[in-house]
Structure 1
Amino acid sequence: MRTLLFCSLLTISLATFSQNVSIRGKIKNPVSRNISIFIYPFAEKSQQNKLLLDENGAFEVETTLNDIAYLYCDFDKNKEENLTFILEPNDTILMNFEGKDFWNTVSFQGNAAPKFEYYREDFKKTFIESDWKNISSKKLGSPALFFRKLMELEDVKMRVLDKYKDKTSSTFYTLCQADIKSDINRKMLPDIYQRAQKLKVPLDSKLIPALYRKKITEINPPQNELTVKSEHYPNNVLYMTALAYPDKKNDIEHIGDYFQAHKPLFHPAFVEVLSAEHLKEEINYKGVSEEVTKKIKNFEKEYPDSRFLPLIKETIANKEIFAIGKPALSFSLRDTAGRTVQLADFKGKVIYLDFWASWCGPCIAEMTSAKKIKNHFKDQTDLVFLYISLDKKESDWRKAIAKYQIGGTHLRDDIKAEESVANTYDAGSIPSSFIIGRDHTFHAIQPPAPSKNDGKDLIKILEEALNKK
């Protein structure tokens, strides 16, 4: 029995042996000598490389991969988009380019060159020729035109990918199919969300014109153990399923509840990945509460050998600083008048801290409900509503405050800074909120949203914080 077990372990070990991956490049006229290269392997810890170019503008990263990974390159911090690619074990790539014009000047060498050539052609067809940034119902004038444009663009992207089918691996081709579907639907979802809010109707597939409804909500490529590795595809499948098979009790705006109620609709590999991702999000969002601890134990029981367990445990360790009673993290930002505001300025007061942005539909939706909360506490001078915006443009931030009449103290974060307040508070997903007590310790992490239970749940927690001696 021991011999058999040893042979089995040896077979697994040899099958998953790490392959060398090399990423090299040379930048002519770099924007900065400081660059960042991030590698996100499937079901493993991310690798973050902050590099300094040598005197010739060259850089090199060598690593090992057991599975596919997503590569993010940040060569110019003034650009909004990072460069994103799929890596496979044993890939080598050398890229040479001008610092300010990557896509028009880059040349690729190495066995992974065809993959990177695909991304270059896709970028030109999508962002330049099809004007990806300006595709929306509002800018195109009608939902019908918007959806027609999206479907045309999906066809264009698939034709580009098909040109590289014989030049790349079947794994790469299938994952790119899943990525294309995810990109299109991630463009579509905010659009129909905003229309649902405006029309005050349920968020479901009826907001998609009948002509395009089936194609948009169909799960293609299918759910399996390969497509689950696509970075955004599991969540795409979840949202498209919720649109196609609505549940009034667990609607798409409570997607975690929908998933729990409809697990049989998903492939076992998708169930594991979505369960792990939702659990990590909940740990990040709520900290390690009694409720979350119970869910962690249930996951461990159901998936004792899951590759995601180390990542879940790492997430728990990272969130320990946000435990109830731990000191709130200090920060200093400028308000709308240009004055420097620090957390310490509000010593002795209770703070409702909210991270938001003008482009975040759910954030804006909660602002209306928050007015009721503020009105309830209108005579409470020792309660501060402190809003930190993640808007990149100051003008967008100011316009949103005025347009939606958002009362409170307003600050704007520098989200590109390495030590931004949003990063410090791990507020990568917004809206994200905290209640900080008079003694400047955390009283609540991700308290109930202002809209929940007509605001009563949040009011109760704020009153508890105000009454706490």
Structure 2
Amino acid sequence: MKILFVWCLAVLFSVHLASAGRVQLRGHARNAAEENLQCTVVSNNLGSNPVGVVIPMKGGDFGYQFDITESTFLSFSDGTNYFGGFVEPGDSIVIAYDRLDFANSISYTGKGREKFVIVHSMMDFKRMARTIAAAAKGRRYPVDDMFAAIDSLKDDVQQRIDLAAKSMSAESHKQLLGALAATQQQAKQSGLVAVFGDSYSNIMANHREKLSEASIAQMKKLLDYDEAFYDSRFYVDAVKSLASMYLEDNIQPITDNFEDRKYQLLVEMLPRKLRTPVLFMTLKWDITTAPGELNERVVLRAAELLADSRWKQHILDLLAARSLLRSGDKAPEFSVQNLSGEKINLASFRGKTVYLDFWFASCGPCHALFKSIAPVKKHFEHDERVVFLTVSVDNEMTWKRAISKFGVKGYHAFTENKLREHPIIQSYHVTVYPTTYIIDPTGRIHAIQAANNPDMLRKQIEEAIAATFPYHSR
């Protein structure tokens, strides 16, 4: 009897652990064109990077089991449609949709479905906000009408969140509210750009005839970030982007030594609780994506402003990793597979300047970069001295379909179904996407995180073409 009692306790304990830390996901996609569903797992831990997971699909059926410890965001793509939601330990989500009629067919059932339904409504919010901004252009006071409509959309989604609050953890509830606040803030900022096509300061100075007193008050409130969401990754990330954009568009043109002072200026415009998380995410972004050489002195000084010693150490570790590759170093060797199924390596391009670009199909910033540098690719289209080498971390089918679907230009290769675990990803320290390099004809790194601006990128490539062998060896 005693043994049986202990065994029962053990079983109950193991079942509790399974339900407490595990998320079950399954579903069916009609008319599925892919063999896999791409999933990105986004933890609320600011120090972590999103993790890619490939979920096999067979006859449209798919299933996966996630082990998590806290409310976590899952983003999915089948190469055509994008969807996602927050999950928490114990959830069991069932997803069904038609790939060719996603909007009218998507359904979420099972434990935790409410969080997916709410995130879906936020995606609708974003789409409707763009329509609202387009309609506001012809109004007497476009800001008044646009912001009121956006606030109404936000209130509708918040009501959904509040009604579903009892069906989720307090942490999931908070994360949804943070994501909603981020969506509202971004929608208003994007709306201003769509209506006026100008910076915040220029709108206030040069478009006064379109601004009522209420408009001006509402625009000023845009700069009042809500510190209640200091522990929401989505909100912190939104503030990072919006505040940095504000500084670059409005403060940089009138500020001496802006690059030396930008992090201090960022901190000064934020409420206390948001300062450390937003500064941390900004530093992390700049270290991993900044084009060319990074001013480490400025970054180190900014790191001293971080109130959390763990995040400060994280920034120091990122700086150390970045310093492993510098301009002038020999580019790491690699071996990947091209569209023809052939193995290619760095030696395959000896004597040429290589623009190396790491990407994946559902990466929005990757496609934005493709669009931005299209004129540069066109300029060097018939120049045999230059190769635009794109390396995808998708599986083979997703990679090939994406090239065709999006018309991606360049010489194409992929990580041979090893996704982000391929040696080239480690060798080139790829932690964010897109990550780009320019490698000169001698096989040395000319630029890390090449310029996004077409004119600057063209100049960088022309400089690399002219390179001989002036560098020291390391």
Superposition TM-score, scaled by structure 1 size: 0.63
Question: For the residues of structure 1 that align with 2:259 and 2:18, how far apart are their CA atoms?
Answer: 37
Q: Which residue of 2 aligns with 1:274?
A: 278
Q: Is the contact between residue 41 and residue 50 of structure 2 (CA under 8 Å) also seen in structure 1? A: yes
Secondary structure of 2:226's counterpart equals: coil
Q: Once the 2 structures are TM-superposed, how far is the Cα of residue 26 of structure 1 from its aligned partner?
A: 5.6
Name whichever of 320-329 and 381-390 sits farther off. Answer: 381-390
After superposition, what is the alpha-carbon deviation per residue over 1:155-178, rounded to whole angstroms, capped at 9, x for unaligned? 321222232346556654444232
**What's the offset of the Cα at 1:182?**
1.5
Distance 2:161 2:52 in 1: 29
Aligned position for 1:230? 232
Partner of 1:8: none
2:74 is equivalent to residue 72 of structure 1? yes
| Deviation of 1:445 (Å) | 0.8
Q: Is residue 348 of structure 2 the alignment partner of residue 351 of structure 1?
A: no
SS of residue in 1 equivalent to 2:310: coil
Alpha-carbon separation, structure 1, partners of 2:199 and 2:223: 25
Structure-2 change in CA distance of 1:259 and 1:149 (3 Å): farther
Residues 21-32 of structure 1: pairs in structure 2 closer than 5 A: 21-25=20-24, 27=26
Q: CA deviation at 1:261?
A: 2.5
Residue 447 of structure 2 aligns to a residue whose secondary structure is strand
Query: What per-residue deviation string (whole Å, max 9, x for no partner) do you get for residues 316-347 of structure 1?
Result: 56546644414244544459xx9998754421
CA distance, structure 2, for counterparts of residue 136 and residue 38 of structure 1:
27
Select 1:136's aligned residue among 126, 130, 135: 130
Distance in 2 between the 1:190 and 1:397 partners? 24
Q: Kindly report which structure 2 residues correspond to 1:136-285, keeping only aligned pairs within 5 A, or say none.
A: 136=130, 143=137, 150-165=150-165, 172-187=172-187, 189=189, 201-202=198-199, 206=203, 210=211, 214-215=217-218, 218=221, 223-224=226-227, 226-238=228-240, 240-241=242-243, 243=246, 246-247=250-251, 249=253, 258-285=262-289
Distance 1:166 1:411 in 2: 52
> Are the equivalent residues in 2 in contact too, given 1:449–1:458 (CA < 8 A)?
no
Gaps of 5+ in 1: 1-17, 402-408
The alignment's TM-score, normalised by the length of structure 2, stands at: 0.63
CA distance 1:467–1:458, change in 2 (3 Å): same
Distance 1:183 1:393, change over 3 A: farther
Select the residue among 36, 39, 43 that pairs with 1:40.
43
SS in 1 for 2:277: helix
Q: Which has the higher contact order (CA 8 A, sep 6+)?
A: 2
Q: CA deviation at 1:184?
A: 3.6
How far residue 227 of structure 1 moved from its aligned partner, in angstroms, is: 1.1
Q: Which of 305, 310, 318 is the equivalent residue of 1:307?
A: 310
- The 3 A distance-change label for structure 1 pair 212 and 433 is farther
Cα–Cα, structure 1 residues 414 and 157, in superposed 2: closer, same or farther, change >3 Å?
A: farther
Which residue in the other structure is 2:5 paired with?
Answer: none
Structure 2 residue identity aligned to 1:23: R
SS of the residue aligned with 1:95?
strand
Aligned-pair CA distance for 1:85: 0.8
- Asked if the contact 2:74–2:87 (Cα under 8 Å) also holds between the matched residues in 1, the reply is no
Q: Which residue of 2 aligns with 1:437?
A: 440
Matches within 5 A, 1:305-454: 305-309=308-312, 311-312=314-315, 315-316=318-319, 319=322, 322-324=325-327, 325-328=329-332, 329-334=334-339, 344-353=347-356, 364=371, 370=376, 383-384=385-386, 386=388, 388=390, 393-394=402-403, 397-398=406-407, 410-411=410-411, 419=419, 426=430, 428-430=432-434, 433-448=436-451, 450=453
Partners in 2 of 1:20 and 1:314 — Cα distance?
35
Contact 1:122 1:160 in 2 (8 A): no
Q: Is the 8 A contact 2:291 2:447 kept in 1?
A: no
Quote how far apart the aligned CAs of 1:48 are: 4.8
What number of residue pairs does the alignment pair up?
A: 411
* Contact 1:358–1:396 (CA under 8 A) maintained in structure 2: no
- 1:287, 1:322 within 8 Å by CA — same for their partners in 2? no
2:178 is aligned with what amino acid? A
Separation of aligned partners in 1, 2:366 and 2:188: 14
Who is 2:90 aligned against? Answer: 92
Code of the aligned partner of 1:307:
R
Contact 2:44 2:232 in 1 (8 A): no
User: Cα distance, 1:462 vs. partner?
Assistant: 3.0
| Sequence identity (%) | 11
- Asked whether the equivalents of residues 284 and 319 of structure 1 are also in contact (C-alpha less than 8 Å), the reply is yes
Contact 1:194 1:361 (8 Å CA) reproduced: no
CA 1:152–1:212 in 2, change beyond 3 Å: closer, same or farther? farther
1:104 maps to 2:107: yes
Q: Which of 438-447 and 163-172 deviates more?
A: 163-172
Q: Distance in 1 between matches of 2:279 and 2:153?
A: 32
CA–CA distance in structure 1, aligned partners of residues 215 and 416 of structure 2:
37
Contact 1:388/1:411 (8 A) holds in 2:
yes
User: Residues 388 and 86 (structure 1 numbering): CA distance in 2 closer, same or farther, change over 3 Å?
Assistant: same
CA contact 2:387–2:411 (8 Å) conserved in 1: no
Residue pair 2:27, 2:95 contacting (<8 A) in 1 also: yes
Contact 1:39 1:70 in 2 (8 A): yes
Q: Deviations over 1:110-149 (max 9, x none)?
A: xxx4xx42432452x455xx58547535995664587665
1:278 maps to a residue whose letter is T
Q: Deviations over 1:217-276 (max 9, x none)?
A: 63599533x51221232243355556599325269xx99965542421213342222222
Alpha carbons of structure 1 residues 280 and 19: separation in structure 2 relative to 1, 3 Å: farther
C-alpha separation between the residues in 2 aligned to 1:141 and 1:395?
34
